[in-house]
Amino acid sequence: MSETVMLIRKEDGFIINTVRHALEKSSYKVLETGFDPDEIKNAKDSAGVMLLYVTGDVESDAEALVYIRDLCLEGNRQLIVIGNSNEFEALNKFISPEIIAYNIERPINMEKLCENVAEMFEERTMQAMKKCVLIVDDDAVYLRAVRNCLKDEYRVGMATSGMQAITWLAQNSADMILLDYEMPVMSGPKVLDMLRSEESTKNIPVIFLTGKSDKLSILRAISLKPDGYILKSEGLGEVIRTLKDFFADPAFQDESDE
């Protein structure tokens, strides 16, 4: 069965035909959709790599772009984007750079495009063998910083709210959840309670991330019996060390084998 690329474009034309032909010549199946969220939704499970062709007024496609962003976050996906420098800059208002694996400028080097697609499929295969860590934090800057320090060692999912984390977990599995203790609307403790009430998520280890280092706050966090807690003030090195120690623990290995 051939590997499938979802090509999201506004309309057909010479360049799109050339892209399609180049991908098919490299033995990829091409599944094309327009900038319609429903159309993308119906096709999303059939494609391993998403190729987004942007042109013109990017902001006019805001609804579709926001949907694509959420789809990537929830499905732990990345995009290849074709456009120009102005379009890339405009696109970043809706889709953060971490979600974009490659920006390919027009005129398109078709050989390079096919190489990038091949690298994406290879990366998906390699990622599938890694431990998966879901980071849940409403601070987008901190969220990206943690992801960047973990992405080489782990498969990383991201959520900016408790509800987004629940949605992510409905479609993905995680070996660990790093959960912000202090979040608006749905706090870390509330998310933990929800996770433990569901059969599919109750056994996923959860480590709290907290910015509060006073004794009372720490005792409150510990009283909820998470699998650990990390003070944000201790830096990203502490996040790396904690995860490494946790996954190396024989107790975790025994639970994973069950």
The pTM is what?
0.68
Longest distance between any two alpha carbons in the chain, whole Å: 65
Q: What is the CATH number of domain 4-127?
A: 3.40.50.2300
Cα–Cα nearest to 6, from 55, 63, 61, 45: 45
Q: How far apart are CA 28 and CA 118, in angstroms?
A: 9
pLDDT tens, the chain, 258 aa long: 359 999 999 988 999 999 999 999 999 999 999 999 999 988 888 888 999 999 989 999 999 999 999 888 777 788 999 999 999 999 999 998 888 999 999 999 999 999 999 999 988 888 778 899 999 999 988 998 999 899 889 989 999 999 999 999 988 889 999 999 988 888 889 999 999 999 999 999 999 998 877 777 778 778 888 998 899 999 999 999 999 999 988 766 555 545
Residues of the chain with CATH 3.40.50.2300: 4-127, 130-257
Q: What is the reported pLDDT for 1? A: 39
Q: What is the CATH number of domain 130-257?
A: 3.40.50.2300
Q: What is the reported pLDDT for 162? A: 93
Q: What is the reported pLDDT for 44? A: 85
